[in-house]
Structure 1
Amino acid sequence: MAKKAAPLKASAETLVVKEGEDPWTKDELDEVLDELTTTRVHSIEVLEAAEAELDGLMKDSGDGAGQDQADVGATSFERDHELTVVNSERDKLHQIERALGRIADGSYGQCESCGQPIGKMRLMAFPRATLCMTCKTREERR
C-alpha cells in the first residue's frame, strides 16, 4: 500500500508564484514536503486501521438473524461510517501523492484548471491544493 514519494527533481526557485510573491525558498519547500510526508504517513495508518475495521464489520455482518433491529442498525451505521472514513482517507492520500508528484515534476503551485499560480500562502496553509482560489470558488458553486 505505501508507495515511495516521488524524488524531488524540481528546485524551489523553479516553482511558480503569484505576481508580487517572493520565489519559493528551499526551507519553505522543505516545510511543505515535511508536512505532506508526515500527513501521508498518518493517512496511511488511518486508512489501514479503517480498512481492517471495515473488513471486520463486513465479515461479521451476518444476515441479522437473532439480532434485534437496533443491533442491525448500529452495525449498518458503523459500516457506513468506516466506509466514509476509508473513502475520505483514500482521497486525501491521492491528493498528497499528486502534490508530491507535482513538486517532483516542477508543476506544483500551478492551478490545474486555469494554469495560473495558486499562491504560496495558500499552498503553505493547504499543501494539497491544486486549484487557485478563483477556480476553487467556482468549483464549489457547482
Structure 2
Amino acid sequence: MLVNGAVITGKGAETAKGRSVDEIEQIRIVLQNRFDDLNTEYEEAVAENQRLRLVEIGDAAGDDQADSGSKTAERDAASSLIRTLLDRRAQAEHALQRLSDGTYGNCEGCSKPIPTERLTVFPSATSCVACKSNRERRAG
C-alpha cells in the first residue's frame, strides 16, 4: 500500500510518515465508521423529511400564512440537512477510496502530505491547509 509516498509491505512496516499497517487499518475503521454513521443519519433524515411531507399534505387545510411559512421553513431545513449529509457521506466515501488507492494523506492539489493533525480533526480532508486556503480565497 502507498501512503504519503511510502510503500507499506508487511504487518508493522513503517511508512515515511511513521504510519504502520495497523495505523492504516485504524484510519480505515474510523473512515468506515464515519461513513456508516453518516449513512444512518442520512436515512433517518430522509424518513423524517417524508414524514413531514405526509403530515403537510394531510394537514394543510385551513393553514394561514404563518403556518404555511413555518412548514416551508421546516421542509427547507430538512432538505438542507439531507444535502449536507450527502456531501459529508460522499467525502467519507472518497477518503475510503483514496485509502484503498494509496493516495490518502496526500493533498489532491499539490501532492504534499497533509499534516496528521489536520487528518485527525478532519479525516476526510483531501487538501493541505495552504491549498484549501488558496481555493477559498479564489471562491470568495
Q: TM-score range by the shorter chain?
A: 0.7 to 0.9
Q: Which stretches in structure 2 are left out of the alignment for 5+ residues?
A: 6-15
Q: Which residue does the alignment assign to 2:117?
A: 121
Q: Which residue does the alignment assign to 1:57?
A: 52
Confirm whether residue 40 of structure 1 aligns to residue 28 of structure 2.
no
1: distance between equivalents of 2:85 and 2:77?
Answer: 12
The TM-score with structure 1 as length reference comes to 0.79
Number of matched pairs:
127
Higher relative contact order (CA 8 A, sep 6+): 1
The TM-score with structure 2 as length reference comes to 0.80
RMSD: 2.0
Confirm whether residue 134 of structure 1 aligns to residue 122 of structure 2.
no
1:103-136 alpha-carbon deviations (Å, 9 max, x no partner): 0010111111222221222212211000011011
Alignment of 1:1-142 (within 5 A): 10=1, 14-16=2-4, 22-62=17-57, 64-141=60-137, 142=139
3-state secondary structure, aligned to 1:91? helix
* 1:101 maps to amino acid: Q
Cα pair 1:15 1:23 within 8 Å, conserved: no
